[in-house]
Structure 1
Amino acid sequence: MKMTEEFILRSNYMDRSTIFIIDDNVLIDYQTSSPLLPFGETTNKLNLKIESFYVDHSILFVRCHISLQMKKILNTGFQILNAKSFLNSINNEETQGILLRAIHWAVWDSRLQYCSKCGSKIPHILHTFEKKCPHCNHSFFPKLSPAVMVLIQRENEILLGRSAHFKPGVYSVLAGFIDIGETAELAVHREVKEEAGIEITELEYFGSQSWPFPDSFMLAFKAKYLRGKIKIDKEELEDARWFNAKNLPDIPPSPSISHQLIRSFILNRAL
């Protein structure tokens, strides 16, 4: 980081609440488990090497490195945890949202260091999700890959599947990326047919979520089963089956919109 940028940080943000991202990890307070830490106090105690930073409304996002051993970090009152695992343990929706944005920014910032048009080194811009090449003036913004997911209901059952990369026992709704030139609705029908071999009807929009693992923008839907027998694509799924509210398997953690979709089915069954 340039001396002028470090001067800006030291001059203006010493007391600012900060999310510190270290590679794929997040720094938290060991006692409170909070990822929101005072910038000045934290950097001074841990002698952090700041790579880049971004001001997100009132919160500072910092991408950094640390040379201290884990025991020393713990003795100083901090802990480093895997960002995705920590995110899944948070119950506060506001903190979840802040951390999701911080992770997405940090991944994008670390990957985009040079202009893909002319090859020049790209500086970051403090108050905007933008990078601009100083040589050719080309602008870059965080990458979002549009994807769809769908909760399919057949009477009192829903269809859930699992991929080989899921944790053991975990099932989720069907999902996939939108192809070039394809609408979200067409993508849902295609993914369901390709992955599970069935057809659906009464497609209904549910909600959306930015998900930084790796860089997805999720569009969630509900649908009703129409016809067909389950025939899974072995390259996409290792299993798919119908579940009712009383025999549900383990599902994705609460921050994900897939969890919210499945929870909506459970809550409707309870009414």
Structure 2
Amino acid sequence: MTLVFSSPPWRAQWLDPLQLGSETQVLVHYRQSFLTGSEGGQLFPLTEVDALDLPLSTKQGLGMWEGLPIVLYELSEAPSIAGLNWLGLRQIMSSQLDTSYVEMLCMAAQVGTWATQHRFCSHCGIPLLAVTGERAMACPQCHNRYYPRISPCMIALVTRGDEVLLARSPRHAPGVFSTLAGFVEPGETIEQCIAREVLEEVGVQVTQPRYITSQSWPFPHSLMLGFHVQYLHGEIRLQPEEIEEARWFPLNALPNLPGPHTIARHLIDCYLAERLGTTHPM
């Protein structure tokens, strides 16, 4: 028997934005928001976008969507355009069901932020030039190269049998409880980061970190490494500048949770499936 695997609609790759033809589709981005059409889509034909005479900061070739080349137009401001509006990436993620499409938008936002923040050499101040063939900027004077910034961080679900520890951050949507997360410090392992961040944020000690999955998180350039960790000891004690509320929740009485495209939700769903013996989420 021959197994046939369908190709995903989105494939990230370097493309020369100056060598793309009329079949190219464009994503228009400014500060975590995308230009959006009347029917809710973010992809526009190249010829239509060029006719708008937008305040362009940079162009970045991103990859292929359903066989068509995709280019990012990163703007220096967000103009008002009749019949179109601007939607934040978080808002799009909360309603968009296509995981591949969300991955494309997340990459676009991350690349756009990087390109905007890396226009000049940090050593000599000379304007940077795009490197042909790879996603990088180079200084023509001191020859330093600048690649997209990736900031590793841990995100962990603290478990205690049929209970999970969930918390509310001031940055969360009202009423939503989530897992704990934090950036890796210089010289720190991911395991050390988990222990430190959990202790800092909620005052408990954990053990046996078990890696589950990862997710690129473009707010603005994180790589989230997701774990399940077991509660060891301690009482909940909040870090007030980071956590508004934290509680143990039984699995049969969970609060409002993060959206379906988030790694936090995936960690919770995976643990729920393990304890209930149901199908493990993909």
Whether TM exceeds 0.5 here: the answer is: yes
Gap runs ≥5 in structure 1: 1-7
**Distance (whole Å) between structure 2 residues aligned to residue 134 and residue 257 of structure 1:** 40
**Distance (whole Å) between structure 2 residues aligned to residue 67 and residue 209 of structure 1:** 28
State the match for 1:155 in structure 2: 161
Contact 1:150 1:221 in 2 (8 A): yes
Pairwise CA distance, 1:142: 1.0
Q: How does 1:85-124 map to 2 (within 5 A)?
A: 85-124=91-130
The answer to whether residue 172 in structure 2 is matched with residue 172 in structure 1 is no
**Distance (whole Å) between structure 1 residues aligned to residue 259 and residue 117 of structure 2:** 27
Pairwise CA distance, 1:69: 3.4
**TM-score normalised by length of structure 1:** 0.87
Query: Which residue of 42, 54, 61 corresponds with 1:35?
Result: 42
Pairwise CA distance, 1:11: 6.2
State the match for 1:15 in structure 2: 23
State the match for 1:50 in structure 2: 56
State the match for 2:11 in structure 1: none
Pairwise CA distance, 1:165: 2.1
Contact 1:178 1:184 in 2 (8 A): yes
Q: How does 1:253-268 map to 2 (within 5 A)?
A: 253-268=259-274
Pairwise CA distance, 1:140: 0.2
CA separation of 1:192 and 1:86: change in aligned 2, threshold 3 A: same
State the match for 1:3 in structure 2: none
CA separation of 1:66 and 1:193: change in aligned 2, threshold 3 A: closer
Equivalent residue of 1:118, what SS? coil
Query: Which residue of 220, 224, 232 corresponds with 1:218?
Result: 224
The answer to whether residue 74 in structure 2 is matched with residue 63 in structure 1 is yes
Contact 1:54 1:125 in 2 (8 A): no
Which one-letter code corresponds to 2:34 in the other structure? V
Q: How does 1:234-249 map to 2 (within 5 A)?
A: 234-249=240-255
CA separation of 1:67 and 1:238: change in aligned 2, threshold 3 A: closer
**TM-score normalised by length of structure 2:** 0.84
Contact 1:254 1:260 in 2 (8 A): yes
Q: Which structure dedicates a bigger proportion of its chain to helix?
A: 1
**Distance (whole Å) between structure 2 residues aligned to residue 267 and residue 189 of structure 1:** 25
**Distance (whole Å) between structure 2 residues aligned to residue 215 and residue 103 of structure 1:** 9
Identity %: 30
Contact 1:54 1:126 in 2 (8 A): no
**Distance (whole Å) between structure 2 residues aligned to residue 36 and residue 84 of structure 1:** 17
State the match for 2:187 in structure 1: 181
State the match for 1:205 in structure 2: 211
Deviant stretches of 4+, over 4 Å: 8-11, 65-68
**Distance (whole Å) between structure 1 residues aligned to residue 71 and residue 89 of structure 2:** 17
CA separation of 1:127 and 1:63: change in aligned 2, threshold 3 A: farther
**Number of matched pairs:** 257
